[in-house]
Amino acid sequence: MVPEITEPAREASKQPCPPRVLLKGGLVADTQARMLVRADVLVEDERIAQVVPEGVSVPEAERVLDVRDCLLLPGFVNAHTHSYATLSRHVGSGLPLEPWMVHTWANTMGRTAQETKLSALLAALEAVKTGTTALLDHLGGDVMTTSAALEAYDELGIRASVAPMISDLALPDTVGVPTGQWPAASHANSPAFLPANANELLAGTDELHRTWHGRNGRISVFLGPSAPQRCSTGLLERCAELAEKLDVGVHTHLLETRAQAAVPPPPGARSWVGHLRSVGLLSPRLSVAHGVWLDGEDMADLAESGVTIVHNPQSNLQLGSGIAELGQWRSRNVPVALGTDGVNCGGSMDMLSSMRLAAILHRPGQPDPARWESAWSVLELATRAGAHALALADAGTLRTGMKADLSVFDIRTSTFATHEDPLASLVFSSYDHRARWVMVGGRLVVDDGVVTTVDEHAIVAEAAEVHQHLLRRNDKYAEMARAQQAFLTRVSAEATPPREIMPFRR
Ligand SMILES: [Zn+2]
């Protein structure tokens, strides 16, 4: 029932891109100088061969795109998302994370490989259409289903780091509420109440790495412990060792909600960040999503260790998790990237929405406008900083020699007609975030607004059908989630974190 990729699309996806593509006369974002430059960009194979001011001669190209009325940006990097969520868009909506999560699990339980592939295709479609060229998918599931998501990314042609999301503790231990205190009817036969086998989880990641890492120069496999409080100390230590051995990144959630901040770290650790240090995970390899409930010492530790925090402003608001202290992170020089989170808590895969929120959400707490985020600074978070988090050494800027990962936005709309700063218009004012052309590694994945590698309409039509099927098929689990909802909502509300939330603290 899930669409097989159509043969013509499959053929198209195999075809090499033309050896040379010239993007002629566009407004090119020089993110280092923070200015737009009218220039020609020549792409040869997978790289940017030349960026030259308009008028300077460039070699002939097999394909020339007239981008005079367009903005050329480095492709966005979505440094934290969960692709499964595209088939669960409104599951658990209107709830805080703790009860929301059990609804999400209920809906995703037993996903087949084909369903997982479909959700990844949907996520990647939405991503490339809005100018994203690379994403990090923190994805739960077994080797077979995760392989299906990787297949989706490979076929669609987006750059993807998949961090298989693993956790070996049973749900009651992860929220610090013993099984005996849960409503009895709420967890009979719930797989979430059983611990998982750490050996098997790590063997799965290892196998995925062996099979997929480096595929077509676009796929990587990271370690993906779900969150420190959801993993045993042994599993976290072994994640650190395996990441070192494989020389790959590690991605995890960290201190997202009040309830998580109220779960005490293991004995001997000052905080959950201290625990990450003691298991050997604090290093530039690590990126952590959310970090809403970090204290000053945590931030200093992350900055010193070169850990990237991935800011997911919409998800933090939509789940009522809190307002992360972006200003504090920035003034302490913690590396920061941006993500959307899964679309069932972050709205969509549109990175421009994340950029807009990141730019304005923190202004009320900062009286000095010179220190506010700008269109340029959030573009930097969404491109170069994201590329760093995904270990993409030669992506994230539009410069000669870099990977040709770029997005092209048409500026012939009312948004841009009366504004002299097209980048600011795009970030603060645009109501239509679709990119006209998107290139990943020199290949046009979106060509004049159309995704070239897969059949978008067939995928969207199938998604609607599969979503209804999942609701029916997993209703028995949804019933369990409904029985846990009130209890977990109370756990969330009554959690007493070690500090008060200070949404507008300077
Ligand atoms: Zn997440």
Give me ligand 1 centre to Cα 53, in Å.
Answer: 41
Residues 322-344: tens digit of each pLDDT:
999 999 999 999 999 999 999 99
Q: How many CA atoms lie within 13 A of 58 on its CB side?
A: 23
Q: State how far Cα 420 lies from the chain centre.
A: 31
Cα R_g (the chain), whole angstroms:
22
Cα 297 to middle of ligand 1, angstroms: 23
| Average pLDDT of the segment spanning 139-144 | 95
Residue 256 CA to ligand 1 center (angstroms) comes to 9
**pLDDT tens for each residue of 80-89:** 999 999 999 9
Higher per-residue confidence, 49 vs 182:
49
Ligand 1 centroid to Cα of residue 443, in Å, is: 29
Q: Say how many CA atoms lie within 13 Å of 30 toward its Cβ.
A: 13
Q: How far apart are the C-alpha atoms of 287 and 374, rounded to whole Å?
A: 23
- Rounded mean pLDDT of 272-299? 97
Q: How far is the CA of 81 from the centre of ligand 1 (A)?
A: 6
In order, the DSSP letters of 64-98 are EEE-TTEEEEEPEEEEEE-GGGGGSTTTTTTS-HH
Q: Which residue from 488, 498, 494, 493 is spatially nearest to 181, judged by alpha carbons? A: 488
Residue 54 has pLDDT above 80, yes or no: yes
Handedness of CA 155, 436, 123, 457 (dihedral sign): negative
Q: Which two tokens stand for residue 114?
A: 């084909």
The whole-angstrom separation of Cα 486 and Cα 71 is 48
Q: From 3.10.310.30, 1.10.150.530, 2.30.42.10, 2.30.40.10, which CATH number describes the 7-74+399-456 domain?
A: 2.30.40.10
Residue type, 409: F
Q: What pLDDT is recorded for position 376?
A: 98
Query: 3-class DSSP state for residue 279?
Result: coil
**Closest to 456 measured CA to CA, from 54, 113, 160, 129:** 129
> What pTM was estimated for this model as a whole?
0.94
pLDDT more than 90, % of the chain: 76
Dist CA 382 CA 144 (whole Å): 31
Q: Are 273 and 185 in contact (CB under 8 A)?
A: no
Residues contacting 70, CB < 8 A, separation 6+? 26, 27, 408, 409, 410, 411, 436, 437
Rounded to the nearest angstrom, the distance between the alpha carbon of 170 and the centre of ligand 1 is 18
What's the token pair of residue 437?
């052309």
Cα of 324 vs its chain's centroid, Å:
17
Map residue 172 onto helix, strand or coil. Answer: helix
Indicate if the alpha-carbon torsion angle 448, 150, 223, 474 is positive or negative: positive
Scored b (16 or more CB within 10 A) or e, 336-357 reads bbbbbbbbbbbbbbbbbbbbbb
**How far is the centre of ligand 1, averaged over its atoms, from the C-alpha of 339 (Å)?**
9
Neighbours of ion ligand 1 (CB under 5 A): 341
User: Tokens for 66?
Assistant: 């007239």
What is the distance between the alpha carbons of residues 321 and 258, in angstroms, rounded to a whole number? 7
* Spacing, Cα 312 to ligand 1 middle (Å): 8
Ligand 1 centroid to residue 58 C-alpha, Å? 44
148 C-alpha to center of ligand 1: Å? Answer: 20
Distance of CA 287 to the CA centre of its chain: 11
Residue 174 has pLDDT above 90, yes or no: no
Q: Give the Å distance between the CA of 143 and the centre of ligand 1.
A: 20
For residue 112, the CA-to-ligand 1 centroid distance in Å is: 21
